Amino acid sequence: MVETKVQSILYLNGVTKSFDGFKAINNLSLDIRPGELRAIIGPNGAGKSTMMDIITGKTKPDEGEVKFRDVIDLTKHDEAEIANMGIGRKFQKPTVIESLSVWENLELALAGHRNVFQTLFFKLDKAQIERIEEILLLIGLQERRAEQARNLSHGQKQWLEIGMLIIQDPELLLVDEPAAGMTDYETMETAKLLKSISENHSVIVVEHDMDFIRALDTKVTVLHEGSVLAEGTLDVVSSNPRVIEVYLGR
């Protein structure tokens, strides 16, 4: 691939999506630079999930541009294609494949080999086995590799899912409320993990937990009623009177 300098890893401009007249996303614009770690906060119904759905191809916007790496129009592709381009998504509710083992979950997410006949005759090579081992170590699940994913604790499932995300080796990671339901310790560990990931990936984190956002120590975007209300460091944003109104006024 010719490596011209990419300006924006993800670029949203004037995106609007309504359901039965209700505007879930309203003229939303967003610009994520390569290697950036961006936190997105906003009250319930601010359009965070819909925004994720639009980026990952689950929902098509009514209007507006969604560009990946400056040139690729994401609205023209489906989920699988977008995932294969290098956008990984972690859901709010951890969704790992319950009846497969931890190892198999990671193997499934391993980069490459997505079509039927490739997977039908697929054999793990040495490098791939090492890669899985590496991720197992990273997410601290070496001991439970043979366990069915349904037997993991909530936190472990979150970590497994993050592991699956990393092993896809995406350029851009969308992480939806990774700290939900985690203990304080786990939350801080997760923040650390994301920061380390963001060293060589672009990451968008959607989160409610202010301590977690603070620990990420990065640029914050506040969403409200489907569009951007404020942007900046957490301190700047949290002193913005409109943000205070939205968060405290209700």
Q: In whole angstroms, what is the distance from residue 12 CA to residue 38 CA?
A: 14
Q: How many positions of this chain bind another protein (CB under 8 A)?
A: 42
**Ranges within 165-194 binding another protein (CB under 8 A):** 168
Burial class (CB in 10 A: 0-12, 13-18, 19+), 1: exposed
Looking at the Cβ atoms of 19 and 183, the one nearer to another protein is: 19
In single-letter form, the type of residue at position 200 comes to: N
What token pair was written down for 149? 């994913």
| Residues 206-245, interacting with another protein (CB under 8 A) | none
**Total residue length of the chain:** 250
In angstroms, give the least distance from the CB of 236 to another protein: 31
**Contact residue for another protein among 72, 97, 138, 188 (CB under 8 A):** 97
**Per-residue binder mask for another protein (CB under 8 A), 46-85, x = binder:** ----x-----x-x-------------------xxx--xx-
C-alpha distances out from residue 179 to 9, 159, 193, Å: 25, 10, 12
Q: Least distance in Å: CB of 41 to another protein? A: 20
Q: Which two tokens stand for residue 40?
A: 């997105």
Task: Pick between residue 95 and residue 153 the one whose CB is nearest to another protein.
Answer: 95
Question: Judged by CB under 8 A, does residue 107 bind another protein?
Answer: yes
Query: Which amino acid is present at 21?
Result: G
How far apart (Å, rounded) are the C-alpha atoms in residues 216 and 211? 9
DSSP helix/strand/coil, 177: coil
Asked if residue 145 binds another protein (CB under 8 A), the reply is yes
Given the complex with another protein, which of 7 and 118 has the nearer CB atom?
A: 118
Distance, CA of 163 to CA of 141 (rounded, Å): 10
Q: Which residues bind another protein (CB under 8 A)?
A: 19-20, 24, 50, 56, 58, 78-80, 83-84, 88-89, 91, 95-101, 103-104, 107-109, 113-116, 119-124, 129, 132, 145-146, 164, 168
